[in-house]
Amino acid sequence: MEYQILNTSTCLLVLLVFIPTGLGICPSSCKCSGNDRNVDCSGRNLTVLPQGLQDNLTYLNLSFNQFVDLDHQLTRFTNLRTLDISNNWLKNVPAHLPKSLWELYATNNNIKVLQKLDTAYQWNLRVLDVSRNMVERAVLINNTLSSLKFLNLSSNKLWTVPTNMPYNLETVDLSSNFLSQILPGTLVRLQHLTSLYLHNNKFSYIPDKAFDQLSQLQVITLHHNPWSCSDNQNIPYVLQWVQATAARVVGAPCAQEPQVSPTLAPGSSSSPTAPGREAVGTEGSATVPQPTGATKTHKQLRAKEAPPLVAQRQPSPGSQRPQEAAATRTVLLQAPADGNASLAPATAASTTPLTLSITSGMPTHFSKMPRSTTATSRREEATPSAPGTHLPSRGGRWPAGLLWLPLLHALALAGH
C-alpha cells in the first residue's frame, strides 16, 4: 500500500514538472498559435526573451524589438524551423543557434561581419537573409551549408563577392553593395544557381570565365554599375557572355546608347509632327515659301482686317483660281471697318475676300447687280482660301459693294 502511494506521488511530481511544457504557455506579450508552437513577439520593444516560451517551438518571430544580444539564448529550441530577428540592434548573428533551423532572417540590424561560426554546422538551413546590415566581410563554410538555397546579402558594404558559397545555392542577392571584383573560382561551383543579382554595385568589368559555369542561370541583373565600356581588354568578356547566354539579362553593360531621334535645330520642338501640319525641314522649322508681290499686298490688307469669324481652311491641290482674262480688272475690297481699298493685279496664287469683275460700261440691269454681286461673293466664299487667308464676315460686304459702285463705273469709263 505504501509502495503504491509512493509511486503515485512520484508520478504526480513528474507531471507537475512537465505540465507547462506539455500543455504549453503563451507569454502575455506574444501571440501564439499551433498549440503555442508558433510564437509571434514582434513589435513589443523587448530587450530580453519573454518568460514562458516552451522548448518545442517551431516558429519564433522576435522582429522589431530592441534586442542587442541573443547569444546562447536560443540553443534550447531544438525544434525551431523559422527564426526572425530582423529590425533589432544586433551586432552579430546569435551564437549557437539550434541546428534545426530552416530559415533565418536577420535583416536590418548592425551586423558588420558574418563569421564562419555564425553558420557552422547549419546543415538544415535553407534561407539566410542578412540584408540591410553593415556587413563588410562574409566568411562561409560551404561544407556545412549543404541545404542552403537562398542567400541574401544585399544592401551591405561588401567589396568582394564572398568565396566558398554553398554549391546548392539557387538564388544569390548581392545587390546594393560596393562590389568591384570577383576572385577567380568564386562562382565555379554554383552550377545550380538560377538567379544572381549584382545590380547597383561598383563593377567596371567581369573577369574572364567568371560566369562560364553558371549553366542553370535564368536571371541576372547588371544595371547601375560603372562599366568601362571603352576598356578593350577587360570589358569584351562580359559583352560576349551577355550575347551568348540563355539567361535573362537585366541591364546589359554598355547597352544604354542614346536613343536615335530626328536631328532638331536648337529651340525646335521635339514632339512628333501633328497630322495636317507642315513637315519639319533640315533647319528644324517648317518650309514656308517666300511671298510674292501680290501676296504681300494681301498680307497688308489682312493686317487691317477684323478677326475672322470663319474658320481657316487649307487649300487642296489644284484648287487655285485660274488667271482671269486680260481685260478683266480685279478690285480688292476691304471690310467696312476701315473703308480703304487697294488695287493689285490678279495672280494665280492670290485669292481675294471679295472680287467684282467689270468688263465695260454701266450694267444694263442695275437692279439685278446686288443679286449677282451676292452670288459672286458666295462663290468666293466657297473657294478654299490660301494658307493663312482670313475671310471677312458676310455682314459687311453689301454696304461696301454699294459704296464703291460709282467709283468702279468711273474707272470703267476711264479705261475706254
Cell of 108: 536590418
Distance CA 145, CA 104 (A): 13
Q: What is the mean pLDDT of residues 112-132?
A: 93
Q: What is the mean pLDDT of residues 128-151?
A: 93
Cell of 72: 546562447
pTM above 0.75, yes or no: no
Over residues 34-76, the pLDDT tens digits come to: 999 999 999 999 999 999 999 999 999 999 999 999 999 999 9
Mean pLDDT of the chain: 73
Q: Does residue 210 belong to any structural domain of this protein?
A: no
Q: Does residue 394 belong to any structural domain of this protein?
A: yes
Handedness of CA 293, 295, 299, 305 (dihedral sign): positive
Over residues 223-269, the pLDDT tens digits come to: 999 999 999 889 999 999 999 999 999 999 998 644 333 333 333 33
Q: Does residue 332 belong to any structural domain of this protein?
A: yes
Q: Does residue 373 belong to any structural domain of this protein?
A: yes
More confident residue, 258 or 95: 95
Q: Does residue 335 belong to any structural domain of this protein?
A: yes
Instruction: Tell me, letter by letter, the H, E, C secondary structure of the chain.
Output: CHHHHHHHHHHHHHHHHHHHHHHCCCCCCCEEECCCCEEECCCCCCCCCCCCCCCCCCEEECCCCCCCCCCCCCCCCCCCCEEECCCCCCCCCCCCCCCCCCEEECCCCCCCEECHHHCCCCCCCCEEECCCCCCCEECCCHHHCCCCCEEECCCCCCCECCCCCCCCCCEEECCCCCCCECCCCCCCCCCCCCEEECCCCCCCCCCCCCCCCCCCCCEEECCCCCCCCCCCCCHHHHHHHHHHCCCEEECCCCCCCCCCCCCCCCCCCCCCCCCCCCCECCCCCECCCCCCHHHHHHHHHHHHCCCCCCCCCCCCCCCCCCCCCCCCEEEECCCCCCCCCEECCCCCCCCCCCCCEECCCCCCCHHHHHHHHHHHHHHHHHCCCCCCCCCCCHHHHHHHHHHHHHHHHHHHHHHC
Q: Does residue 374 belong to any structural domain of this protein?
A: yes
Distance CA 82, CA 98 (A): 10
Which range of residues forms the domain containing residue 346? 294-307+321-415
The pLDDT of residue 400 is: 52
The pLDDT of residue 17 is: 44
Strand pairing report for 150-152 and 171-173: parallel
pLDDT category of residue 346 using cuts at 50, 70 and 90 = very low
The pLDDT of residue 4 is: 58
Q: Does residue 378 belong to any structural domain of this protein?
A: yes
The pLDDT of residue 410 is: 75
State the total domains in the chain. 1
Q: Does residue 357 belong to any structural domain of this protein?
A: yes
